[in-house]
């Protein structure tokens, strides 16, 4: 069976002036698909098999190509916007005909030059299109366990739940809202630590190290800022959490734990409205 959006080996059924007509070897009464003449390998003969990608051309005719697209059906990839029209946007996926993404499949309005994480689907007109709604395309059967390090791309942010991450562009992950200490946005590539594997297989993530390791990193960060500032910083355990977050990219609890460590190491002391290097 000839499948849209996939790379497959098809048999040469007929040779013509416009190219080679291909079909599956058992030829299940499907219409032959054209491989344009400029892409037909030299010395090809009827009965030979050619590996091709099958899609629809600009006239919506099913056609094949020996060129490999940047993604195929079932994959999730980051593609660049090359054009925006009044019906949607077009993405560069490595073929002559750009990949269409309708407005209704955009989770945010796209502009030329932007990169977006997308999957493929077949629309009602039997055309291959892109979608940014990839949540259900991601697997919850990852090989990762608690404390494993993972890499992923943020594809959605919910102000009540947190940031949804496509791990390895394959698996579902979530950075809970309590773990979002930075101003992350759609498309950010992140490294995280698995903190929980849920019963359904989905992964909870943290951008921070385990507490005892993170405490040392936070303490070092504060101490370096202290030195660069001439030995004084106008922040202490009474400073509002919002200000701590803005200045140090950490939670209020993380800040208090870190300066407690510096106090215990006798590297700082409290002074009026701040901390000072000893």
Q: What pLDDT was estimated at residue 249?
A: 80
pLDDT band at 74 (very low <50, low <70, confident <90, very high): very high
Q: What pLDDT was estimated at residue 189?
A: 93
Phi, psi of 188 (to 5 degrees): -65, 135
Q: Which domains does the chain have, with CATH numbers?
A: 7-65 (2.40.50.140), 76-135 (2.40.50.140), 138-206 (2.40.50.140), 212-277 (1.10.10.10)
pLDDT band at 15 (very low <50, low <70, confident <90, very high): very high
Average pLDDT, the chain: 91
**pLDDT per residue as tens digits for the range 165-224:** 999 999 999 999 888 877 788 999 999 999 999 999 999 998 876 655 667 788 888 889
Supply 64's token pair. 């094949």
Q: Residue 25 and residue 13: Cα distance in Å, rounded?
A: 9
Q: What pLDDT was estimated at residue 197?
A: 96
**Are the C-beta atoms of residues 13 and 32 closer than 8 Å to each other?**
yes
Supply 102's token pair. 């309708």
Q: What pLDDT was estimated at residue 221?
A: 86
Is the pLDDT confidence value at 272 over 60?
A: yes
Classified as helix, coil or strand, 31 is coil
Q: Which residue has the tokens 């992923």?
A: 152
Is the pLDDT confidence value at 1 over 80?
A: yes
Query: What contacts 79, CB < 8 A, 6 or more positions away?
Result: 70, 71, 91, 92, 93, 99, 115, 116, 118, 130
Q: What pLDDT was estimated at residue 256?
A: 86
**pLDDT per residue as tens digits for the range 40-55:** 999 999 999 999 999 9
β-sheet bridge partners, residue 172: 166
* Separate counts of helices (H) and strands (E) for the chain: 3, 18
Classified as helix, coil or strand, 179 is helix
**Are the C-beta atoms of residues 137 and 166 closer than 8 Å to each other?**
no
Higher-pLDDT residue of 256 and 77 is 77
Supply 247's token pair. 């200045």
Q: What pLDDT was estimated at residue 278?
A: 86
pLDDT band at 131 (very low <50, low <70, confident <90, very high): very high
For range 31-36, the mean pLDDT: 93
Strands across the sheet containing 268-271 = 232-233, 274-277, 268-271
């Amino acid at each position: 069976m000839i499948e849209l959006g996939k790379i497959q080996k098809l048999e040469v059924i007929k040779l013509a002036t416009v190219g080679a007509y291909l079909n599956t070897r058992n030829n299940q009464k499907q219409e032959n698909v054209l491989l344009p003449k400029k892409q037909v390998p030299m010395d090809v003969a009827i009965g030979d098999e050619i590996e091709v990608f099958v899609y629809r051309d600009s006239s919506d005719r099913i056609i094949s190509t020996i060129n490999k697209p940047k993604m195929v059906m079932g994959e999730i990839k980051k593609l660049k916007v090359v054009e925006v029209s009044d019906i949607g946007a077009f993405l560069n996926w490595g073929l002559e005909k750009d990949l269409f993404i309708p407005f209704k499949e955009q989770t945010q309005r796209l502009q030329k030059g932007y990169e977006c994480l997308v999957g493929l689907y077949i629309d009602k007109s039997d055309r291959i299109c892109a979608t940014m709604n990839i949540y259900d395309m991601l697997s919850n059967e990852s090989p990762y366990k608690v404390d494993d390090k993972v890499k992923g791309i943020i594809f959605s942010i919910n102000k009540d739940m947190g940031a949804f991450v496509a791990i390895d562009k394959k698996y579902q992950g979530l950075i809970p809202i309590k773990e979002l200490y930075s101003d992350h946005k759609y498309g950010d590539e992140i490294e995280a630590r698995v903190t929980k594997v849920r019963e359904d297989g989905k992964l909870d993530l943290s951008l921070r190290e385990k507490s005892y390791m993170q405490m040392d990193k936070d303490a070092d960060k504060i101490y370096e800022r202290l030195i660069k500032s001439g030995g004084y910083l106008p922040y202490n355990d009474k400073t509002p959490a919002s200000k701590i977050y803005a200045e140090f990219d950490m939670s209020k609890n993380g800040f208090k734990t870190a300066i407690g460590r510096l106090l215990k190491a006798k590297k700082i002391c409290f002074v009026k409205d701040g901390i000072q290097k000893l």
